[in-house]
Amino acid sequence: MAEAIKVTIWNEFRHEQSNEQVRSIYPDGIHRAIGEGLEGTFSVKYAVLDSHEHGLTEDVLNDTDVLIWWGHMAHGDVQDYIVDRVHDRVMKGMGLIVLHSAHFSKIFKKLMGTSCDLKWREAREKERIWVVNPGHPIVEGIGEYIELPEEEMYGEHFDIPQPDELVMVSWFEGGEVFRSGCCYTRGAGKVFYFRPGHETHPTYYNPDIRKVIANGIRWAAPVARSYPRYGHAVPSLEPIKDKG
Ligand code: ZN
């Protein structure tokens, strides 16, 4: 059997500690609920904002195939040098899965180069996430749509670059739509943005949501090969005829 893909789940892990409603849904933190759906299939580690170097030391990142990122109220507390370190790893092939409110994380904005802004509303409304790319590996095992009885609304326009592949689109009870599953490549790395997962709804216990995240990990995992060489290409591979 091939070696398990190494996944690090990063979470701010502040709201769960300061807000009773959030804690009641995610008592051990959102990262642990996400990880519960992945353990046994992948090799899972956890990292949180208030750890040394936000838990994302060189050693941790070098030992990570796919990094999952959840944050919403403390994006500004993430140190820029850690963002640069994660960015460098993505360029060299580490996969990144950006969840929900991490659309405003420093790392996602740096990778996208746009504001990543959107519309939002907390009204406990129904979300129907439609699969619009049925042959894509990220939606393996998923039906026509995933329905979540209550979620926060995110609406267009979502200020992202045109996705390389658009896999899912959400419809909300209040009328808005949103590009919910977006795939990019940046350097040698793959980036998957997946929308659902507001902290006051039990979304990360939903089996289909867990399946999409697991599929996303497999899709985003690095390809085993050497990093490309850049720069002065001398000597040439083949002899070049003297043009003098
Ligand atoms: Zn939210």
CA distance 72 to 83: 16
Quote the ligand 1 centre to 14 CA distance (angstroms).
Answer: 14
Quote the ligand 1 centre to 190 CA distance (angstroms).
Answer: 24
Structure letter (DSSP) for residue 237: S
Tokens standing for residue 219? 């899709």
For the chain, what are the domain ranges? 6-113+181-220
Quote the ligand 1 centre to 224 CA distance (angstroms).
Answer: 35
Question: Quick one: pLDDT at residue 78?
Answer: 98
Burial track 177-195 (b if 16+ CB lie within 10 A, e otherwise)? ebbbbbbbebbbbbbbbbb
Quote the ligand 1 centre to 133 CA distance (angstroms).
Answer: 25
Q: Which helix (H) or strand (E) holds 15?
A: helix 15-18
Spell out the per-residue pLDDT of the chain, length 244, in tens.
Answer: 568 999 999 999 999 999 999 999 999 999 999 999 999 999 999 999 999 999 999 999 999 999 999 999 999 999 999 999 999 999 999 999 999 999 999 999 999 999 999 999 999 999 999 999 999 999 999 999 999 999 999 999 999 999 999 999 999 999 999 999 999 999 999 999 999 999 999 999 999 999 999 999 999 999 988 888 899 999 999 999 998 8
Sign of CA dihedral 46, 90, 218, 74: positive
Distances (CA, A) of 242 to 153, 239: 66, 9
- Fold for domain 6-113+181-220? Rossmann fold (3.40.50)
Quote the ligand 1 centre to 199 CA distance (angstroms).
Answer: 6
Structure letter (DSSP) for residue 56: -
Question: Quick one: pLDDT at residue 98?
Answer: 99
Helix/strand number for the chain, H first, E second? 7, 9
Give the global pTM: 0.96
Quote the ligand 1 centre to 156 CA distance (angstroms).
Answer: 15
Cβ-based neighbour number of residue 157 at 10 Å: 10
CA distance 182 to 137: 13
- Helix, strand, coil content of the chain in percent (nearest 5): 30, 30, 40
Quote the ligand 1 centre to 243 CA distance (angstroms).
Answer: 64
Quote the ligand 1 centre to 153 CA distance (angstroms).
Answer: 8
